[in-house]
Amino acid sequence: MTVLIRMDMKIRYGDSVLGYVWTIGKPLALFSILYVVFGKLVRFGTTPETRAHYPLYLVIGVMLWSFFADGVTRTMGSIVSNGTLLRKLPFPRLVIPLSTSLTAFVTFGLSLIAIAIFVAWNGLVPQLDWLVLILELIELYLFVLGLGLILGIIYVRLRDISQVWELAVQLLFFLSPIIYPFTQIANTRIRQIMLINPFTQIMQDVRTIIISPDRHAMWKDGLVAPVALSPTRLLPLAGVAIVLGLGLYLFKHEEPWLPERV
């Protein structure tokens, strides 16, 4: 698996002049555009939730979203793109999507440098409960892996799913509170429905842990669910478990026929 991860990273960045710089550069370029439009022109940064730290609020959302979208997309296509390897060598087929998703996770680790810079720029001091962020990122990775497996198995049989996913990514970007503050959604019921989405829940948890000193008050007011195992928090956790379990089940079911179908 380590060999596949190294090979994937070398193929992806080896022929690029800037190499791994693009891992941070592309999300930061997107962040810069969104910040100018929505932070300066539309003025989302003037809301109570983001008044002091909108750039950090936005960069967290963009970096997490970049990992989510890129990780799922690459995991989805990993089975088909490694068809020759599947046909020639006997090995556990799960290694391929697993190594691809781990490659995306490793490259995402470089993006944490940008978040750390913004944290330092905003004068925020790491707290002990920031260790929970490790669990949040593991949860996000498992969600990416599970969704990538599901779409990857469908992609083997139906190549049009890549076009559907491309449209879904664009739709989900605007349905998730990445560029706009979560508190601007006035309807509490809609906020609760949005938090069922594991990505939205994880993103809001990360933002709340890092940015909000009054995080306990925000949890009480329903602006974001606590990281603790409350009923609200159990829904996205169950969603991750279901997605991952379904992905593993479908892959196990289809694994014997994968070399013939790719």
> What mean pLDDT do residues 105-116 have?
87
Check if the beta carbon of residue 51 is closer than 8 Å to that of residue 45. yes
pLDDT above 80 (res 120) = yes
Amino acid 153: pLDDT: 95
Cα separations in angstroms, 246 against 18, 147, 239? 38, 9, 10
Instruction: Kindly state the tokens that stand for 167.
Output: 């449209």
Amino acid 24: pLDDT: 72
Q: Mean pLDDT of all residues in the chain?
A: 82
Question: Within 10 A of 256 (CB to CB), how many other CB atoms are there?
Answer: 9
Q: For residue 1, name the pLDDT band (cuts at 50, 70, 90).
A: low
Which residue has better confidence, 204 or 4? 204
- The 10 Å CB-count burial string (b at 16+, else e) for 150-175 is bbbbbbbeeeebeeebeeeeeebeee
Domain range for 57:
2-261
Percent of the chain residues past pLDDT 70, beyond the cut: 82
Number of domains the chain contains: 1
Check if the beta carbon of residue 251 is closer than 8 Å to that of residue 156. no
Cα separations in angstroms, 220 against 196, 217, 223? 17, 5, 8
Check if the beta carbon of residue 8 is closer than 8 Å to that of residue 105. no
Q: What angle do CA 199, 145, 67 make, to 5 degrees?
A: 55
Helical H segments across the chain, by residue range: 2-13, 21-34, 54-81, 83-88, 95-121, 132-157, 161-175, 188-194, 198-211, 215-221, 231-254, 258-261
CA gap 182, 194 in Å, rounded: 10
Amino acid 219: pLDDT: 44
CA gap 199, 7 in Å, rounded: 28
CA gap 225, 202 in Å, rounded: 10
Amino acid 216: pLDDT: 47
Amino acid 257: pLDDT: 83
Amino acid 221: pLDDT: 44
Amino acid 218: pLDDT: 45
Amino acid 222: pLDDT: 43
Q: 3-class SS at 255?
A: helix
